[in-house]
Structure 1
Amino acid sequence: MEQSTLICRGVGLRGVDPYQVSPGYTLFAHLTSPGTVKLIDNHGQEVHRWDLSYRPGRHAQIVRNGNLAYNGVHPDAPRLFPLWQKYRGGVMMELDPQGNVVSEHRDPLAHHDQHHLDNGELLYTTVERLELEKGDSVLGGIPHSEAPDGKVYADCIKHVSSSGELLWSWKAIDHLDPKKFALQPHYPREHWPLINSLYSLKDGNILASLRSVSAVIIISRETGEILWHLDSTVVAQQHCASEMEDGSILIFDNGTFRHHESATYSRVIQVSREDKRIVWEYKDPHPMTFFTPLMGGAQRLRGGNTLITEAAFGRIFEVTQEGELVWEYIVPDFAAYKGLDAKEIEGYFPYPANALFRAYKYAPEQIPWLHPN
């Protein structure tokens, strides 16, 4: 008998409402693949794929010119601490539909959201090892849970040109108040504050999601200071913060250790910049059946639907503004980390999984090479 609960529940296309689903194609990278990116249609059929040389260092996107932007795992990055192998990246490539590399930027300390901008520039997160005194200034977390070298690694943000020239940078240790942004008590002290998403706002400032302190912030491009702070009274180990047309912020709120609630569930929220009020929310009608403790994504589509990635369980689905489910797909590919040069986490994740970091959906006109006629 099949032993995987996820496979028993069913994989591939689970359902589609052809009248309400957004037209287009969904792109995703299965995290424990050697480097496969798939593009599927609304019937769950694969219409294109890329087989690349590096396992996914989180996610892939289609950029404005129709090329693939892919974040692969750097083959020679330092082994900082065990879970670094789970979320590091470092090879930021743009490829044409045939898989030819158009451009590439490498940074062995890059992790999580290596965000390819439409003009060829890159906005991405890295880490730096803090000196002992600065590491001690980071508050909270599990006592004595620093990295194996006894150090704390802190986030930095880099914005580089298409040729790799550094255009702007920011360091968490220089701009975050350790008291206001203390690690949550159940989180290891090896990495602070663990930025898992970046977004370049229309006004030029930077939106960032900080997982291990449960915060979403806006960083001033001019001064580096924090202009806006959504704290753990609203979000819990969230991911994938992005700006909507009206300036509000869409967030995948994972829900782990959410304040004032004992039942754990994930949700997607849209938050007003002005008063931090939740103006739209999606959670499952049976809330606890939609949950991912790790990763996760939310993308507002043309027409108003929202694509949601329930990442740890390989589930991608689309809902209307009214919260009606109109498309659901479960990644059918299962594999463990064995053989992917990630021995440090083989014991953490010893089972075959279909997890992905984040999926994106594109309208047909955004992928003109797919159906040129």
Structure 2
Amino acid sequence: MRPGAARAGGRGPGWAPLWLLLAACLPPPLPQPETTERLVATAATSPYVASVLLISVTAPRPASLWIELGTSEDELIAATPAHKGTEVELPVLGLKAGHTYLWRAAARTPDGQRLTSPIARYTTPTSPSGLDSYTVLRSTEASVGGWLLTSVAQLEAPLSWVGILDRDGDWVWWVPAEEGRIPLSPKLSRDGTAILWGEYDLDRSQSTLDRSALIRVSLDGSAREQTRLPLGHHDFVEHADGTIAYLSRSAAQLGQADALPVHADRIDLVPRGAGHDVVPQTVFDTFEDYPYPAVSTCAHMTRIQNTYGSIGPEWTHGNSLLYLDEEDAYYLNARYTDWLLKIDAGTGEVLWQLNGLDGGFTLPDGSPAWESPGEAHLWSHGHISQLWSGGMMVFDNGDHRTKRVSRVLEIALDEDARTAEIVWSYPHPDGRFTPSMGDARRLPGGNVLTAWAGLREITEVTPDGSVAWKARSGRADVVGRITWLPDLARPSPPSQAPPAPAPASPEASGDDPDRR
């Protein structure tokens, strides 16, 4: 497919490739004095990201330098921001897998002369087997566009990747996980220049070697870094000073001396780049800091698991860790217990609990938010990736509801009154259920982006529930958590500000054809 062309069922000519968006960012053309000076440019593929082209440019004198790209010589336009100097390395991002492009370096000197390098050809590698393009099933002008950061896994292979999709459903950036490890919770770094994700052993029963790690790869493909996360799982937080807080595994002997150990969660801290010799600092341990005793409330808690040689049931199954700077507080969501804990980051004290047994919040009318796994009036075994002071987005898997249908929720909190309510919901339009993972985020303007995990779908819906964009994967077993990226060339740090408010209607139905 040529750059910018719409896949069948995808967005039409209004969807411009990355370099078209950059064309307007350069200074207006000036009269071009005659010159015989040329730029020298050499290209190499990033050693860490197969689809990123790194172009080194040398100019005979100081100038503003950029790269021009296209599919024919008469349509080469700016593909990178301009940089001043005589020697620069310019990364070209947003190139579709398996496509051929023409490129050249271009420059403008202070006296208005335009310099160029000879035109060269570059073909991006095809995406690896198992990482197929998505089929775009619906695309409308209501979509906010941008790029989608996610992970995909074929659990039986096991092959997994972290990657970025464009809105044609094509991969434009991808990095494979180490064989036998699954990548979870990819996210943009605080400074907006890198992609971070955790990699965890897929099979923990056959090995006593814990390889859990945080991977950091620069968006421009110029650097890769690893931070060890001993006993890490599921999710992490990057702090402003570079420290990494992450979910780790805790075990305790409860009851009789010969009883199997019970597993739960800790929040541990390690410095960026930590190796095998670093001992994590524990901020919170469920067994020590949670104020109530362990109680089994659902069948998931009775399953016996082997975690690096520690054999026993799992009580909590934490799957989401968030942090708000202005509150200096962590939020830990645990799947099996259905609770969300707000935890003081300095002391490890549980400030409050929403949902689950012993939860401290009610619905606005005073009725309980959670009575049992089958009577969970907010969510049942959910995942949370977006949270702000006073609200959150929840992917509600719905494991214990009588009719198991996964859905997306926006929940409003009143911490003073200790009340919580669903202010927006969107059930899967076909009434389907996914038992693991899942993710939802409200975008600028109010649309909601959802990764439906094992259903292999990604949707963007408007506040009234109309589908603005929808795509499906053909081969990946699981679509991981998802992050919206508005710009690849000029990434901006992620925001903790509240998104646009939910609409007045409390539920978006899937009955309308536009909502499928």
Fold-level similarity (TM above 0.5)? yes
Shift in alpha-carbon separation, 1:62–1:238, aligned structure 2, 3 A: same
Give, in whole Å, the separation in 2 of the partners of 1:355 and 1:175. Answer: 34
Shift in alpha-carbon separation, 1:22–1:168, aligned structure 2, 3 A: farther
* Contact 2:283/2:345, CA 8 A, preserved across alignment: no
**Deviation, structure 1 residue 326:** 0.9
**Deviation, structure 1 residue 107:** 2.5
Structure with higher helix content: 1
Shift in alpha-carbon separation, 1:117–1:305, aligned structure 2, 3 A: farther
> Where do 1:102-121 residues align within 5 Å?
102-117=224-239, 119-121=241-243
> In the alignment, does 2:273 pair up with 1:129?
no
**Deviation, structure 1 residue 99:** 4.9
Shift in alpha-carbon separation, 1:296–1:101, aligned structure 2, 3 A: same
> In the alignment, does 2:339 pair up with 1:212?
no
**Deviation, structure 1 residue 199:** 0.3
Shift in alpha-carbon separation, 1:65–1:229, aligned structure 2, 3 A: same
Shift in alpha-carbon separation, 1:52–1:224, aligned structure 2, 3 A: closer
Match of 1:264 in 2: 404
Match of 1:143 in 2: none
**Unaligned 5+ residue runs, structure 1?**
1-9, 137-145, 335-353
The superposition leaves residues 256-283 of structure 1 with CA deviations (integer Å, 9 ceiling, x where unpaired) of: 113xxx2111222222221212222222
**Deviation, structure 1 residue 74:** 4.9
* Contact 2:246/2:268, CA 8 A, preserved across alignment: yes
Which structure ranks higher in relative contact order (CA pairs < 8 Å, sequence separation ≥ 6)? Answer: 1
Q: Cα RMSD between the aligned structures? A: 3.1
Shift in alpha-carbon separation, 1:285–1:355, aligned structure 2, 3 A: closer
Give, in whole Å, the separation in 1 of the partners of 2:319 and 2:206. Answer: 17
Give, in whole Å, the separation in 2 of the partners of 1:134 and 1:28. Answer: 44
* Contact 1:50/1:98, CA 8 A, preserved across alignment: no
**Deviation, structure 1 residue 69:** 0.8
Match of 1:29 in 2: 151
**Deviation, structure 1 residue 298:** 0.9
> In the alignment, does 2:425 pair up with 1:281?
yes
Match of 1:348 in 2: none
The superposition leaves residues 320-370 of structure 1 with CA deviations (integer Å, 9 ceiling, x where unpaired) of: 122221111112234xxxxxxxxxxxxxxxxxxx2123122210167559x
Identity percentage of aligned residues = 23
Q: Output the amino acid matched with 1:153.
A: H
Q: Output the amino acid matched with 1:281.
A: S
Q: TM-score, normalised by structure 1?
A: 0.75
Aligned with 1:277: secondary structure? strand
Shift in alpha-carbon separation, 1:114–1:222, aligned structure 2, 3 A: closer
Q: Output the amino acid matched with 1:24.
A: G
Match of 1:13 in 2: 136
* Larger Rg belongs to: 2
Shift in alpha-carbon separation, 1:333–1:319, aligned structure 2, 3 A: same
Give, in whole Å, the separation in 2 of the partners of 1:68 and 1:214. Answer: 29
* Contact 1:252/1:267, CA 8 A, preserved across alignment: yes
Match of 2:51 in 1: none
1:356 to 462, 471, 479: 479
1:249 to 358, 377, 392: 392
> Where do 1:186-335 residues align within 5 Å?
186-189=299-302, 190-201=313-324, 202-232=326-356, 233=370, 234-244=378-388, 247-258=390-401, 262-274=402-414, 275-285=419-429, 288-289=431-432, 291-334=433-476
* Contact 1:93/1:101, CA 8 A, preserved across alignment: no
More moved, 93-102 vs 230-239: 93-102
More moved, 220-229 vs 274-283: 220-229
Give, in whole Å, the separation in 1 of the partners of 2:457 and 2:471. Answer: 6
Structure with higher strand content: 2
Give, in whole Å, the separation in 2 of the partners of 1:90 and 1:57. Answer: 10
After the TM superposition, which segments of 4 or more aligned residues of structure 1 sit over 6 Å from their partners? Answer: none
Aligned with 2:150: secondary structure? strand
Aligned with 1:37: secondary structure? strand
* Contact 2:151/2:183, CA 8 A, preserved across alignment: no
**Deviation, structure 1 residue 306:** 1.3
**Deviation, structure 1 residue 89:** 7.1
The superposition leaves residues 170-222 of structure 1 with CA deviations (integer Å, 9 ceiling, x where unpaired) of: 1000122445x633231134112111000002311111111111112211224
* Contact 2:237/2:323, CA 8 A, preserved across alignment: no
Q: Output the amino acid matched with 2:423.
A: V
The superposition leaves residues 220-243 of structure 1 with CA deviations (integer Å, 9 ceiling, x where unpaired) of: 224323223221422210112531
Give, in whole Å, the separation in 2 of the partners of 1:57 and 1:184. Answer: 29
**Unaligned 5+ residue runs, structure 2?**
1-132, 303-312, 357-369, 371-377, 493-516
Match of 2:295 in 1: 182
Aligned with 2:413: secondary structure? coil
